[in-house]
Chains A and B, each alone.
Chain A
Amino acid sequence: MLSVEASTAVGQLRLEVALEVAPGECLALAGPSGAGKTSVLRVVAGLLRPDHGTVRAGGAIWLDTTRDIELPAERRRCGYVFQDFALFPHLSAWQNVAYPIRGRDRRERALELLDRFGLRDRSEARPASLSGGERQRVALARALARSPEVLLLDEPLSALDARTRGGAARELAAVLSAGDAPALLVTHDFTEAAQLGDRVGVIDAGRVVQQGTPSELAAAPRSPFVADFTGAVVLTGTARPGADGLTHVELDGGGEVVSPDAADGAVAVSVYPWEIAIEPAGEPPHGSAQNRLAAEVTSVTTVGNRVRLGLVGPQPLAAEITRTAADQLGLRPGAKVTASWKAAATRLVSTS
């Protein structure tokens, strides 16, 4: 268990956060740059001392400003993956991983870790000659070398190009679900947070404005900021090219949608909540919206002058409509509706 409470000024920013992460859980903090995400990690690692705060990891107290307890960074067992990976440029891959390891078998232990990440044959290479994806894996192996009690990841995928990001994300997700240390990850990308975090906390201007599962946040955002930040609804399914020139996606859990994007195999389907129209269930299809899913309203949340509807159909999704439209339809939790949107508003991203 990791619990953090911190209140401090970081430059112009006022940071006020309180977080708890259970063993084996990954909490992803998502927010725009300058929101204070990295500062939270630095407080946990002991690289930034907050004016007031406590950090507890496992049974140990790492920081308690009221009792004047402050363990120095080097004595906190944190695995920290830095945004640019911060690999030591003068050391080879295995020497980087072996840096925190003491004892005669440090080389063997470093090589074992590299092996786990499929990098044994790159062990003698220096960071400058490693690819972005390889650097990320070396950084991860190095962070795990100390058997950390807490894992901290700062934008672990942002330094990678789009092509390697997908694979790296899946690998990282596997590492996170295999470990039993609590993990705290920060990212500016909500989709990445949803992919890697068991829970997502949205952070804005130094405060965690809302925490929950990704679909909870998308369905019932507590503020316009969270609504905008969560962005597109993501559904998963299996794609196959159709005879009509469109791609047909069989959604996991039932239902089918179409998209003009080419794809084959496992895909993520994304659509913005404001592209989704709502009509009472049972009405015949009309208009140009080809994608239609039966759903039940689970939450109705007012966000400024809009209403965000949490829906559960074959998969959770969210729609955003004006308050006037919501009033006319008399929507409340439990109402049966049809969610529809145009094929042209449907984006497909291959996940296989």
Chain B
Amino acid sequence: MSRPGWFTILLGACLTVALAFLTVPVAAIFANSSPGQLLSSLGDRQSLDALWLSLRTTATSMAIILAVGTPAAYLLAARSFRGKALVVTLLELPLVLPPAVAGIALLAAVGPKGILGGAVDAAGIELSLTTAGVVVAITFVSAPFYLRQAMAAFAAVDRSLLDASRTLGASEARGFTRVVIPVALPGLASGVALALGRALGEFGATLMFAGSFQGITQTVPLAIYDRFSTDFDSALALSAVLVAVSGAILLSVKFVDRGAALRGWQPE
């Protein structure tokens, strides 16, 4: 075997730097908190409330994003119409908004004094400083991640598959559920993972729009921030839990991808 050339060594060195920079801080979370500490900090009421709230609001938000976002993304990928590029850009705009701006924007739109505040109030919905407000905030910031990925996944589905489905007697709606969605599934799953990651970590917009009240609007990132000045160890432990949950999500998406490939699902 020949010795690696200088270029290979350069590539390896860059990878080492990147890996160290990105993994050392994450590893440090676990290094500083013993498993026992981790478990005990989870025992307290505030942590459990925050975890439960994060899971509930994220699940609700994902359900809304999937139900509305999937057909919307399909429309954008499958049809062409005037002004489509503008529509796509508007949908993607929240991607580049700083979280604080997202929070202000939500307050200005559907907050008590917002332009739609009256209408929301009249409908009997209370958003600011409520759990529903958390769902609105995380849906607002994470939906574009899913939409973007889902559009790409649908656009990659061979048009002739849907044509074939129609010539075989299936309406477009039937072909969409029986062919297009299953074929696009790996791409959709990675969209869900991106949106989930963003939703679980959401901080700024939630804090500004919904506040930080234990059991009502205090999600895990808010609870971590709340503690870090007073109880660094328990903030660390809660962080470890968030890392573990996010890591598990990332892994499960990789498995969906892998499983699809094993079953011969190749987006052609």
Binding site for B on A (CB under 8 A): 45-47, 72-80, 82-84, 86-90, 99-100, 126-129, 142, 145-146
The residues in B between 154 and 202 inclusive whose CB is less than 8 angstroms from any CB of A are 158, 160-161, 163-171, 178-179, 182-183, 185
B266 at the interface (CB under 8 A from A): yes
- Find A100's partner among B161, B168, B179, B183 (CB 8 Å cutoff): B168
B264 at the interface (CB under 8 A from A): yes
Residues of B within 8 A of A80 (CB): 163-164, 167
Residue on B nearest A78 in the bound complex, by CB:
B167
Residues of B within 8 A of A146 (CB): 168-169
- A47 in contact with B264 (CB, 8 Å): no
The residues in B between 241 and 256 inclusive whose CB is less than 8 angstroms from any CB of A are none
Given A74-B171, A126-B264, A129-B264, A88:B179 Cβ within 8 A: yes
Residues of B within 8 A of A84 (CB): 158, 160, 268
- A100 in contact with B166 (CB, 8 Å): no
Can you list 23 residue pairs at the A/B interface with Cβ under 8 Å?
A46-B167, A47-B166, A47-B167, A73-B166, A74-B166, A77-B169, A78-B167, A80-B163, A80-B164, A82-B163, A86-B161, A86-B163, A87-B164, A88-B165, A89-B183, A89-B266, A89-B267, A89-B268, A100-B169, A127-B264, A128-B266, A145-B168, A146-B168
- B167 in contact with A73 (CB, 8 Å): yes
- B265 in contact with A89 (CB, 8 Å): yes
Residue on A nearest B174 in the bound complex, by CB:
A74
- Find B158's partner among A77, A78, A86, A142 (CB 8 Å cutoff): A86
Q: Which has the most chain A C-beta neighbours within 10 Å: B161, B166, B265, B266?
A: B166
- A86 in contact with B164 (CB, 8 Å): yes
- Which 9 A-B residue pairs are closest in the complex by CB-CB distance? A126-B264, A128-B264, A100-B168, A86-B164, A73-B166, A80-B167, A86-B160, A90-B182, A100-B169
- Find A82's partner among B164, B169, B170, B267 (CB 8 Å cutoff): B164
Docked Cα-Cα span, A262 to B109, in Å, equals 82
Residues of B within 8 A of A90 (CB): 179, 182-183, 185, 263-265
Residues of B within 8 A of A128 (CB): 264-266
Docked Cα-Cα span, A15 to B146, in Å, equals 41
- B263 in contact with A45 (CB, 8 Å): no
Residues of A within 8 A of B179 (CB): 88, 90
Residue on B nearest A77 in the bound complex, by CB:
B169
Residues of B within 8 A of A83 (CB): 160
- B168 in contact with A99 (CB, 8 Å): yes
Docked Cα-Cα span, A73 to B178, in Å, equals 17
Residues of B within 8 A of A88 (CB): 161, 164-165, 179, 182-183
Residue on A nearest B157 in the bound complex, by CB:
A89
- B163 in contact with A74 (CB, 8 Å): no
Residue on B nearest A92 in the bound complex, by CB:
B264
Residues of B within 8 A of A46 (CB): 166-167
Residue on A nearest B182 in the bound complex, by CB:
A90
Docked Cα-Cα span, A75 to B174, in Å, equals 13
Residues of B within 8 A of A126 (CB): 263-265
Residues of A within 8 A of B167 (CB): 45-47, 73-74, 76, 78-80
Residues of B within 8 A of A129 (CB): 264
Docked Cα-Cα span, A82 to B182, in Å, equals 20
Residue on B nearest A76 in the bound complex, by CB:
B167
Docked Cα-Cα span, A87 to B161, in Å, equals 7
Residue on A nearest B185 in the bound complex, by CB:
A90
Q: Which has the most chain B C-beta neighbours within 10 Å: A74, A75, A79, A129?
A: A74
Residues of A within 8 A of B169 (CB): 74-75, 77, 100, 146
- Find B163's partner among A47, A127, A142 (CB 8 Å cutoff): A47
Given A73-B166, A89-B264, A89-B265, A82:B160 Cβ within 8 A: yes
Residue on A nearest B166 in the bound complex, by CB:
A73
Docked Cα-Cα span, A129 to B264, in Å, equals 7
Residues of B within 8 A of A86 (CB): 158, 160-161, 163-164
Docked Cα-Cα span, A239 to B55, in Å, equals 77
Q: Which has the most chain A C-beta neighbours within 10 Å: B167, B168, B178, B264?
A: B167
Residue on A nearest B159 in the bound complex, by CB:
A86
Q: Smallest CB–CB gap between B166 and chain A, Å? A: 4
